[in-house]
Amino acid sequence: MVTEVVTEVVSAGADSAGLFRLDGRTAVVTGACGKLGPVWIGALLDAGARVAGLDLAGVRPPPPLEDLLARHGKRLALLPADVTDRRSLEAARDSVESRFGPAGILVNNAGIDQPPGPARTYRLEEVPEESCRRVLEVNVLGLFLSTQAFLPSLQRAGRASVVNIGSLYGAVSPDARLYSHIPADPPFLKPPMYGASKAAVSSLTRYLAAHLAPEGVRVNTLCPGGVLGAQDEEFQRKFRDRVPLGRMATLGDLVGPLLFLASDASSYVTGHDLMVDGGFTAW
Protein backbone atom coordinates (compact mmCIF):
# COMPACT_ATOMS: atom_id res chain seq x y z
CA MET A 1 0.00 0.00 0.00
CA VAL A 2 2.77 2.44 0.95
CA THR A 3 4.63 1.64 -2.29
CA GLU A 4 1.49 2.37 -4.31
CA VAL A 5 1.04 5.73 -2.58
CA VAL A 6 4.68 6.71 -3.11
CA THR A 7 4.48 5.72 -6.79
CA GLU A 8 1.33 7.84 -7.21
CA VAL A 9 3.00 10.85 -5.56
CA VAL A 10 6.16 10.53 -7.68
CA SER A 11 4.11 10.18 -10.86
CA ALA A 12 2.06 13.26 -9.99
CA GLY A 13 5.20 15.24 -9.24
CA ALA A 14 6.70 14.37 -12.60
CA ASP A 15 3.93 16.33 -14.33
CA SER A 16 3.26 18.91 -11.61
CA ALA A 17 3.74 21.87 -13.95
CA GLY A 18 1.06 20.44 -16.23
CA LEU A 19 -1.46 20.50 -13.39
CA PHE A 20 -1.81 24.25 -13.87
CA ARG A 21 -2.27 24.10 -17.65
CA LEU A 22 -5.69 24.77 -19.16
CA ASP A 23 -5.03 23.80 -22.77
CA GLY A 24 -8.20 22.96 -24.67
CA ARG A 25 -10.49 24.26 -21.93
CA THR A 26 -12.98 27.12 -22.11
CA ALA A 27 -13.26 29.75 -19.39
CA VAL A 28 -15.77 32.53 -18.75
CA VAL A 29 -14.98 35.68 -16.75
CA THR A 30 -17.76 38.04 -15.69
CA GLY A 31 -16.98 41.70 -15.07
CA ALA A 32 -14.32 41.47 -17.78
CA CYS A 33 -13.84 45.24 -18.05
CA GLY A 34 -13.32 45.83 -14.33
CA LYS A 35 -9.99 46.30 -12.57
CA LEU A 36 -9.30 42.58 -12.08
CA GLY A 37 -11.09 41.23 -15.16
CA PRO A 38 -8.04 41.57 -17.45
CA VAL A 39 -5.85 39.95 -14.78
CA TRP A 40 -7.97 36.79 -14.66
CA ILE A 41 -8.38 36.74 -18.45
CA GLY A 42 -4.65 37.15 -19.09
CA ALA A 43 -3.79 34.38 -16.62
CA LEU A 44 -6.27 31.97 -18.19
CA LEU A 45 -5.04 32.75 -21.71
CA ASP A 46 -1.40 32.25 -20.70
CA ALA A 47 -2.35 28.85 -19.27
CA GLY A 48 -3.77 27.83 -22.65
CA ALA A 49 -7.51 28.35 -22.19
CA ARG A 50 -10.01 29.87 -24.57
CA VAL A 51 -11.69 32.75 -22.74
CA ALA A 52 -14.97 34.62 -23.03
CA GLY A 53 -15.15 37.86 -21.09
CA LEU A 54 -18.62 39.13 -20.18
CA ASP A 55 -19.59 42.70 -19.37
CA LEU A 56 -22.41 45.15 -19.89
CA ALA A 57 -23.18 46.13 -23.47
CA GLY A 58 -21.47 49.36 -24.44
CA VAL A 59 -18.78 49.21 -21.75
CA ARG A 60 -15.44 50.03 -23.34
CA PRO A 61 -12.62 47.57 -22.64
CA PRO A 62 -9.76 49.06 -20.60
CA PRO A 63 -6.33 49.21 -22.29
CA PRO A 64 -5.07 45.93 -20.74
CA LEU A 65 -8.08 44.08 -22.12
CA GLU A 66 -7.78 45.78 -25.53
CA ASP A 67 -4.18 44.54 -25.65
CA LEU A 68 -5.28 40.99 -24.83
CA LEU A 69 -7.96 41.15 -27.53
CA ALA A 70 -5.36 42.28 -30.07
CA ARG A 71 -2.90 39.53 -29.14
CA HIS A 72 -5.31 36.64 -28.52
CA GLY A 73 -8.25 37.39 -30.83
CA LYS A 74 -8.73 33.75 -31.81
CA ARG A 75 -8.89 32.53 -28.22
CA LEU A 76 -10.59 35.54 -26.61
CA ALA A 77 -14.07 37.00 -27.11
CA LEU A 78 -15.78 39.88 -25.31
CA LEU A 79 -19.53 39.34 -25.09
CA PRO A 80 -22.37 41.49 -23.68
CA ALA A 81 -24.15 40.23 -20.58
CA ASP A 82 -25.74 41.62 -17.44
CA VAL A 83 -25.20 39.37 -14.42
CA THR A 84 -28.54 40.50 -12.98
CA ASP A 85 -30.40 39.40 -16.13
CA ARG A 86 -30.75 35.63 -16.49
CA ARG A 87 -31.77 35.80 -20.16
CA SER A 88 -28.71 37.81 -21.16
CA LEU A 89 -26.51 35.31 -19.34
CA GLU A 90 -28.13 32.39 -21.14
CA ALA A 91 -27.64 34.16 -24.47
CA ALA A 92 -23.98 34.69 -23.59
CA ARG A 93 -23.65 31.02 -22.64
CA ASP A 94 -25.01 29.96 -26.01
CA SER A 95 -22.56 32.31 -27.77
CA VAL A 96 -19.66 30.93 -25.75
CA GLU A 97 -20.57 27.35 -26.59
CA SER A 98 -20.97 28.11 -30.30
CA ARG A 99 -17.53 29.75 -30.41
CA PHE A 100 -15.46 27.73 -27.97
CA GLY A 101 -17.49 24.77 -26.72
CA PRO A 102 -18.80 24.10 -23.18
CA ALA A 103 -17.31 26.28 -20.46
CA GLY A 104 -15.45 24.28 -17.85
CA ILE A 105 -14.26 27.29 -15.85
CA LEU A 106 -16.40 30.16 -14.56
CA VAL A 107 -14.80 33.11 -12.79
CA ASN A 108 -17.54 35.11 -11.06
CA ASN A 109 -15.72 38.43 -10.95
CA ALA A 110 -18.47 41.01 -11.59
CA GLY A 111 -19.06 43.20 -8.56
CA ILE A 112 -19.54 46.71 -7.21
CA ASP A 113 -17.05 48.36 -4.85
CA GLN A 114 -16.03 51.90 -3.95
CA PRO A 115 -12.29 52.57 -3.73
CA PRO A 116 -11.12 54.98 -1.02
CA GLY A 117 -11.19 58.61 -2.11
CA PRO A 118 -12.94 61.96 -1.67
CA ALA A 119 -16.01 60.95 -3.66
CA ARG A 120 -19.46 61.62 -2.27
CA THR A 121 -19.62 60.15 1.21
CA TYR A 122 -22.37 59.44 3.70
CA ARG A 123 -22.81 59.02 7.42
CA LEU A 124 -23.80 55.51 8.36
CA GLU A 125 -27.42 56.52 8.97
CA GLU A 126 -27.55 58.25 5.57
CA VAL A 127 -26.30 55.44 3.29
CA PRO A 128 -28.85 55.25 0.43
CA GLU A 129 -31.05 52.19 0.42
CA GLU A 130 -30.82 51.87 -3.35
CA SER A 131 -26.99 51.72 -3.34
CA CYS A 132 -27.16 48.93 -0.74
CA ARG A 133 -29.67 47.02 -2.81
CA ARG A 134 -27.61 47.39 -5.99
CA VAL A 135 -24.43 46.04 -4.37
CA LEU A 136 -26.26 42.96 -3.09
CA GLU A 137 -28.03 42.50 -6.41
CA VAL A 138 -24.81 42.47 -8.43
CA ASN A 139 -22.35 40.92 -5.97
CA VAL A 140 -24.57 38.12 -4.65
CA LEU A 141 -27.60 37.57 -6.85
CA GLY A 142 -25.54 38.23 -9.99
CA LEU A 143 -23.03 35.57 -8.96
CA PHE A 144 -25.81 33.06 -8.34
CA LEU A 145 -27.57 33.81 -11.63
CA SER A 146 -24.29 33.48 -13.55
CA THR A 147 -23.64 30.10 -11.97
CA GLN A 148 -27.20 28.98 -12.72
CA ALA A 149 -26.97 30.06 -16.36
CA PHE A 150 -23.62 28.37 -16.99
CA LEU A 151 -24.26 25.24 -14.93
CA PRO A 152 -25.41 23.12 -17.91
CA SER A 153 -22.24 24.10 -19.74
CA LEU A 154 -20.06 23.31 -16.72
CA GLN A 155 -21.72 19.91 -16.40
CA ARG A 156 -21.11 19.11 -20.08
CA ALA A 157 -17.48 20.21 -19.89
CA GLY A 158 -16.60 17.97 -16.95
CA ARG A 159 -13.85 18.56 -14.35
CA ALA A 160 -15.40 21.98 -13.96
CA SER A 161 -14.32 24.76 -11.61
CA VAL A 162 -16.18 27.85 -10.43
CA VAL A 163 -14.00 30.54 -8.88
CA ASN A 164 -15.92 33.21 -7.01
CA ILE A 165 -14.06 36.45 -6.34
CA GLY A 166 -14.50 37.42 -2.71
CA SER A 167 -12.56 39.77 -0.47
CA LEU A 168 -10.75 39.89 2.85
CA TYR A 169 -13.66 42.14 3.88
CA GLY A 170 -15.90 39.11 3.69
CA ALA A 171 -14.02 37.85 6.76
CA VAL A 172 -13.20 41.06 8.67
CA SER A 173 -14.64 44.55 8.87
CA PRO A 174 -12.87 47.43 7.10
CA ASP A 175 -10.63 49.35 9.51
CA ALA A 176 -11.92 52.94 9.43
CA ARG A 177 -8.48 54.19 10.53
CA LEU A 178 -7.12 53.29 7.08
CA TYR A 179 -9.33 56.01 5.60
CA SER A 180 -9.26 58.65 8.36
CA HIS A 181 -6.78 60.92 6.51
CA ILE A 182 -8.93 61.21 3.38
CA PRO A 183 -10.31 64.76 3.10
CA ALA A 184 -14.04 64.11 3.09
CA ASP A 185 -16.97 65.34 5.16
CA PRO A 186 -18.53 63.13 6.30
CA PRO A 187 -15.48 60.81 6.52
CA PHE A 188 -15.02 58.15 3.87
CA LEU A 189 -17.06 55.07 4.70
CA LYS A 190 -16.44 51.76 2.98
CA PRO A 191 -19.87 50.72 1.66
CA PRO A 192 -21.44 48.56 4.38
CA MET A 193 -23.02 46.17 1.90
CA TYR A 194 -19.66 45.44 0.21
CA GLY A 195 -18.32 43.33 3.06
CA ALA A 196 -21.77 41.85 3.67
CA SER A 197 -22.00 40.83 0.02
CA LYS A 198 -18.56 39.21 0.08
CA ALA A 199 -19.41 37.29 3.25
CA ALA A 200 -22.50 36.08 1.40
CA VAL A 201 -20.27 35.03 -1.52
CA SER A 202 -18.23 32.82 0.81
CA SER A 203 -21.40 31.27 2.24
CA LEU A 204 -22.84 30.74 -1.24
CA THR A 205 -19.57 29.13 -2.30
CA ARG A 206 -19.92 26.49 0.40
CA TYR A 207 -23.56 25.94 -0.49
CA LEU A 208 -22.82 25.49 -4.19
CA ALA A 209 -19.76 23.35 -3.50
CA ALA A 210 -21.79 20.90 -1.45
CA HIS A 211 -24.63 20.69 -3.97
CA LEU A 212 -22.56 20.59 -7.15
CA ALA A 213 -19.84 18.15 -6.06
CA PRO A 214 -21.86 15.15 -7.34
CA GLU A 215 -22.03 16.94 -10.70
CA GLY A 216 -18.24 17.13 -10.91
CA VAL A 217 -18.24 20.90 -10.37
CA ARG A 218 -15.89 22.38 -7.78
CA VAL A 219 -16.65 25.81 -6.27
CA ASN A 220 -14.16 27.96 -4.35
CA THR A 221 -13.63 31.59 -3.40
CA LEU A 222 -10.48 33.61 -4.09
CA CYS A 223 -10.32 36.44 -1.57
CA PRO A 224 -7.86 39.21 -2.53
CA GLY A 225 -6.81 41.78 0.00
CA GLY A 226 -5.34 45.24 -0.53
CA VAL A 227 -4.48 45.21 -4.23
CA LEU A 228 -2.12 48.05 -5.11
CA GLY A 229 -3.68 50.62 -7.41
CA ALA A 230 -4.20 54.37 -7.46
CA GLN A 231 -4.59 54.69 -3.68
CA ASP A 232 -2.88 57.69 -2.10
CA GLU A 233 0.50 57.17 -0.44
CA GLU A 234 -0.80 57.59 3.10
CA PHE A 235 -3.40 54.88 2.59
CA GLN A 236 -0.74 52.59 1.14
CA ARG A 237 1.55 53.24 4.11
CA LYS A 238 -1.21 52.50 6.61
CA PHE A 239 -2.18 49.34 4.78
CA ARG A 240 1.42 48.09 4.54
CA ASP A 241 1.80 48.59 8.29
CA ARG A 242 -1.30 46.44 8.83
CA VAL A 243 -0.06 43.49 6.71
CA PRO A 244 2.40 40.88 8.07
CA LEU A 245 4.17 40.66 4.69
CA GLY A 246 4.61 44.42 4.79
CA ARG A 247 3.22 45.32 1.37
CA MET A 248 0.06 45.50 -0.69
CA ALA A 249 -0.72 42.84 -3.26
CA THR A 250 0.38 43.30 -6.85
CA LEU A 251 -1.77 42.09 -9.72
CA GLY A 252 0.82 39.38 -10.34
CA ASP A 253 0.25 38.01 -6.84
CA LEU A 254 -3.27 37.01 -7.88
CA VAL A 255 -2.36 34.95 -10.94
CA GLY A 256 -1.06 31.83 -9.20
CA PRO A 257 -4.02 31.49 -6.81
CA LEU A 258 -6.48 31.90 -9.70
CA LEU A 259 -4.77 29.22 -11.80
CA PHE A 260 -4.57 26.91 -8.79
CA LEU A 261 -8.32 27.08 -8.21
CA ALA A 262 -9.24 26.95 -11.90
CA SER A 263 -7.00 24.01 -12.78
CA ASP A 264 -6.57 20.37 -11.83
CA ALA A 265 -3.92 21.47 -9.34
CA SER A 266 -6.84 21.91 -6.90
CA SER A 267 -8.77 18.81 -7.98
CA TYR A 268 -9.54 17.87 -4.34
CA VAL A 269 -10.34 21.40 -3.18
CA THR A 270 -13.93 22.64 -3.02
CA GLY A 271 -15.92 24.90 -0.70
CA HIS A 272 -12.74 26.74 0.28
CA ASP A 273 -11.95 30.44 0.84
CA LEU A 274 -8.39 31.10 -0.38
CA MET A 275 -7.19 34.26 1.37
CA VAL A 276 -4.63 36.14 -0.75
CA ASP A 277 -4.08 39.00 1.68
CA GLY A 278 -0.45 38.92 2.80
CA GLY A 279 -1.59 37.73 6.22
CA PHE A 280 -3.97 40.65 6.86
CA THR A 281 -6.56 38.33 8.40
CA ALA A 282 -3.98 36.36 10.41
CA TRP A 283 -3.84 38.90 13.23
Q: Among residues of the chain, what percentage have pLDDT more than 90?
A: 84
pLDDT at site 117: 64
Of the pLDDT bands very low, low, confident and very high (cuts 50, 70, 90), residue 5 is very low
CA 42 to CA 25: how far, in whole Å? 14
> Quick one: 194 exposed, middle or buried, by C-beta within 10 A (0-12, 13-18, 19+)?
buried
Residue of 179, 194, 207, 268 with catalytic role: 194
pLDDT category at 48 given cuts 50, 70, 90 is very high
pLDDT, mean of residues 180-205 = 93
Domains delineated in the chain: 23-115+136-171+194-225+252-276 (3.40.50.720)
pLDDT, residue 120, reads 74
- Alpha carbon distance 236, 240 (integer Å): 6
- Pick from 141, 106, 109, 108: which is nearest to 36 by CA? 109
194 annotated active-site: yes
**137-177 pLDDT, tens digit each:** 999 999 999 999 999 999 999 999 999 999 999 999 999 99
What's the pLDDT tens digit per position in 67-109? 999 999 899 999 999 999 999 999 999 999 999 999 999 999 9
Question: What average pLDDT does range 36-64 have in this prediction?
Answer: 97
pTM: 0.93
